[in-house]
Amino acid sequence: MRARVSETFSICASGVLAAFIAYIFVFYLQFKFTGHPGSVDLFTTLTDWLGLQGHEKLMRIGTGSAELVAAILLFIPATQVVGAALALGIMSGAIFFHLATPLGVDPYGDGGVLFKEACAVWLASLVILAIRRRRVIELIERYAPFLPVPARLRAG
């Protein structure tokens, strides 16, 4: 009985976190896909810093497309961990660029909302991967058997 309650809680928690991540990703797609001036300015800052002047649109649309794919994968039970891993990677990049580039943590002067949301999505993705770690291990063993999986992760 107790294991069943724990499993139900895990499914619900990962579903709620997946919905949160998807909401954030899909909400910001309107800015990325329509070429909103704030989004264009943000990605221009990044591409200029990377030495890729003139490639703002490619990076903006590419990032938005990756976020859309992650949002979709998060709602399919069989691919939820892949979506969470993709979201974790995307947000790791976002957090890096906020911290390491002229973009900064508060590019819009709103108290760093974008940066805080990136951190929240990063954490939510990590929690989904922790909750669904058995599935993560299955996928690693199937598609990347050369990666070592610590025994203590298999036991939990």
Each residue's pLDDT tens digit, 92-120: 999 999 999 999 999 999 999 999 999 99
The span from the CA of 83 to the CA of 125, in Å, is 8
Q: Which two tokens stand for residue 89?
A: 């990677």
The span from the CA of 19 to the CA of 105, in Å, is 25
pLDDT at site 37: 96
Cα 145 from chain centre: 24
Q: Please write down the HEC assignment for all residues of the chain.
A: CHHHHHHHHHHHHHHHHHHHHHHHHHHHHHHHHHCCHHHHHHHHHHHHHHCCCCCHHHHHHHHHHHHHHHHHHHCCHHHHHHHHHHHHHHHHHHHHHHHHCCCCCCCCCCCCHHHHHHHHHHHHHHHHHHHCHHHHHHHHHHHCCCCCCCHHHHHC
**How many helices (DSSP H) and strands (DSSP E) are in the chain?**
7, 0
Question: Taking the CB of residue 98, how many other CB atoms lie within 10 A of it?
Answer: 21
Confidence (pTM): 0.92
pLDDT at site 153: 74
pLDDT at site 25: 98
Q: Which two tokens stand for residue 148?
A: 């070592």
Residue ranges of the chain with pLDDT lower than 70? 1-3, 155-156
Q: Which two tokens stand for residue 46?
A: 């990044």
